[in-house]
Amino acid sequence: MSISPVSPVLVDRFGRTVDYLRISITDRCDFRCVYCMSEEMTFLPRAQILTLEEINYIAQAFAELGVTKIRITGGEPLVRRGVLALLETLGKIDSLNELVLSSNGSKLEEMAEAIKQAGVKRINISLDTLDAAKFREITRTGDLKQVLRGIFAAKKAGFKRLKINSVILKNRNHLEVIDLVQFAINSGIDISFIEEMPLGLINSHDRVEVYYSSDSIKADLEQVFKLQAVADNTGGPSVYFKVIGTDTRVGFISPHSANFCSTCNRVRLTVEGRLLLCLGNEHSVDLKKVIRANPSNMDKLKQTIIEAMKIKPEQHEFDLTEQPIILRHMSATGG
Ligand code: SAM
Ligand code: SF4
């Protein structure tokens, strides 16, 4: 299906244009990262989650409304059966400049080449430590070697850009930031450090106690590397620095210490088909209900999406010390 580009129609009350959609295609995962999930998780029943056809249909609507970038995420998107066919279909939407993916890397060794062929331009891969035992502790089930093989397979497949995402927790992995950057430099890829966000109930730690700010990480890195600020051209919340003398950029995503909401250009489609207007608020519209009640009525779907822009909140209000936190996990949300 070929869709001609249109002028942006998704504009919210604060004048922000939405041109980026993140889609969680599954809440399931082969890992149980301590900041993302509890050890025992109850996943959603199949009837409650969007089918791949429904995801594709909604993605087409967004593309017709001016969205030019889609990120497929989860949960671990590569554990959902049929993901390659979905990527291939989305990869054929002419007006999409960028189809990108987030993954924990566990399946990349066997899938990287096919993902590239499907039209995915960039992959963000989670990696919080280079210590195998610690990796197992943080992910609870993950195998570091398998993920490293996945990263190398992705590198070999020749993606336009690869980036590591590291969530840094004090006294768990905060002493590893230098090694992680050195690994990124040696591998010729980028890296972003993320402050932990209070999404979903977890049982492994107190989020206040493990908070380690982006400023602290940057100060640690500057003991070893020379960092030079660069203009961010990805339109995202990362603030980027180039590591002088290398091809690597280091990004900081700081939901607590630096608010990035004024330039927010994104919305999220949850695995249940809710259009979530902000990661840190519950404002949402049930698109699954709309498409199941009005099958094949693309105009109705598009009108609902346009209307939804009116409830996009101005900014998130994360407070690590306050209860209740947001109960939805990052995995169901499209992190
Ligand atoms: N499974 C894939 C992965 O791990 O990259 C994609 C989904 S995961 C939810 C997307 C990103 O969210 C990962 O980089 C992960 O580290 C991050 N993440 C998960 N829970 C988080 C939290 N509570 N705070 C900050 N980042 C989180
Ligand atoms: Fe799975 Fe990614 Fe969440 Fe880790 S961060 S549990 S890999 S969805």
Residue 11 falls inside a structural domain:
no
194 lines ligand 1 (CB under 6 A): yes
Across 31-45, 65-79, 207-221, 308-322, the highest mean pLDDT is recorded for 65-79
pLDDT at res. 282:
74
Least confident of 222-231, 257-266, 294-303, 322-331: 322-331
Ligand 1 neighbourhood includes 255 CB (under 6 angstroms): no
pLDDT in tens, 76-111: 999 999 999 999 999 999 999 999 999 999 999 999
Q: Considering just the CA atoms, what is the radius of gyration of the chain in Å?
A: 19
Closest atom, ligand 1, to C-alpha of 36: 20
Give the position, in ligand 2's atom list, of the atom nearest the Cα of 329. Answer: 3
Of 104, 124, 126, best ligand 1 pocket probe by most atoms within 8 Å of the beta carbon: 126
In whole angstroms, give the CA distance from residue 205 to residue 203. Answer: 6
Mean pLDDT of the region 117-124: 97
Is residue 266, in this structure, part of any structural domain at all? yes
Label residue 3 by pLDDT band (50, 70, 90): very low
Cα(204) to centroid(ligand 2), Å: 14
Which whole-number Å values give the CA distances from 8 to 233, 284, 304, in the listed order? 19, 21, 16
How confident is the model over 39-69, as pLDDT tens digits? 888 899 999 999 999 999 999 999 999 999 9
- Residues having CB within 6 Å of any atom of ligand 2: 29, 31-33, 36-37, 74-76, 104, 126, 331
Q: Which two tokens stand for residue 224?
A: 């070893």
**Ligand 1 geometric centre to CA of 36 (Å):** 6
Count of C-beta atoms within a 10 Å radius of residue 326: 18
Q: Is residue 300 in some structural domain?
A: yes
Where is 243: in which H helix or E strand?
strand 239-243
**Band of residue 261 on the pLDDT scale cut at 50, 70, 90:** confident
Residue 237, domain extent: 20-333
CB 107 within 8 A of CB 83: no
pLDDT for the residue 281:
75
Structural domain includes residue 280: yes
In this prediction, residue 233 carries a pLDDT of 55
Q: Does 55 fall in a domain?
A: yes
- Mutation test residue for ligand 1: of 32, 102, 193, the one with most atoms within 8 Å of CB: 102
Are the CB atoms for 77 and 83 separated by under 8 Å? yes
Ligand 2 atom nearest to CA at 32: 6
Q: Which atom of ligand 2 is nearest to the CA of 37?
A: 6
117-126, 208-217, 284-293: least confidently modelled range: 208-217
pTM over the 0.85 mark: yes
What average pLDDT does this structure show over 4-21?
A: 81
Mean pLDDT of the chain: 89
Bridge partners for 251 per DSSP: 192, 240
Q: Are 310 and 13 in contact (CB under 8 A)?
A: yes
Sequence-ordered list of residues with C-beta below 8 angstroms from that of 335, at least 6 positions apart, any chain: 22, 24, 36, 73, 102, 199, 279
Is position 2 within any domain? no
Question: Best of 23, 35, 37, 123 to mutate for ligand 2, by most ligand atoms within 8 A of CB?
Answer: 37
The full DSSP string for 57-107 is HHHHHHHHTT--EEEEESS-GGGSTTHHHHHHHHHT-TT-SEEEEEE-STT
Pairing of strands 239-243, 274-276: unpaired
- Tell me: pLDDT of 161 over 50: yes
What is the secondary structure of 138-187 as a DSSP string? HHSS--HHHHHHHHHHHHHHT-SEEEEEEE--TTTTGGGHHHHHHHHHHH
Q: When comparing pLDDT for 179 and 263, which is higher?
A: 179
Query: Residue 331: which pLDDT band, with cuts at 50, 70 and 90?
Result: low
Nearest CA to ligand 1 atom 15: 126
| CA–CA dist 178, 221 (Å, integer) | 6
- 334 CB under 6 A from ligand 1? no
Supply the pLDDT for residue 278. Answer: 86
Ligand 1 centroid–CA 328 distance in Å is 13
Which residues sit opposite 98 in a β-bridge? 69
For ligand 1, whether the C-beta of 318 sits within 6 Å is no
pLDDT tens digits along 179-217 = 999 999 999 999 999 988 876 667 767 777 788 999 999
pLDDT at 227: 98
Measured between alpha carbons, how far apart are the two ends of the chain, in Å?
28
Strands ordered across the beta sheet of 98-103: 227-229, 239-243, 249-253, 190-194, 161-167, 122-126, 98-103, 69-73, 20-24, 266-269, 274-276, 284-286
Confidence of residue 5 (pLDDT cuts 50, 70, 90): very low
Distance 28 CA to ligand 1 centre (A): 13
What's the pLDDT score for residue 231?
82
Q: What is the pLDDT of residue 283?
A: 81
- For residue 258, the domain's CATH number is 3.20.20.70
Given this model, what pLDDT does residue 263 score? 82
pLDDT-derived band at 1 (thresholds 50, 70, 90) equals very low
Ligand 1 atom nearest 29 alpha carbon: 1
CA–centroid distance, 334 to ligand 1, in Å, is: 9
Instruction: Note whether residue 311 is domain-resident.
Output: yes
pLDDT exceeds 80 at position 124? yes
Q: What is the number of the ligand 1 atom nearest to the C-alpha of 166?
A: 16
Question: Which ligand gives the minimal distance to the CA of 194?
Answer: 1
Residue 272 lies in a domain: yes
Q: Which-ligand-closest: CA of 124?
A: 1
Give the position, in ligand 2's atom list, of the atom nearest the Cα of 104: 7
- Total number of domains in the chain: 1
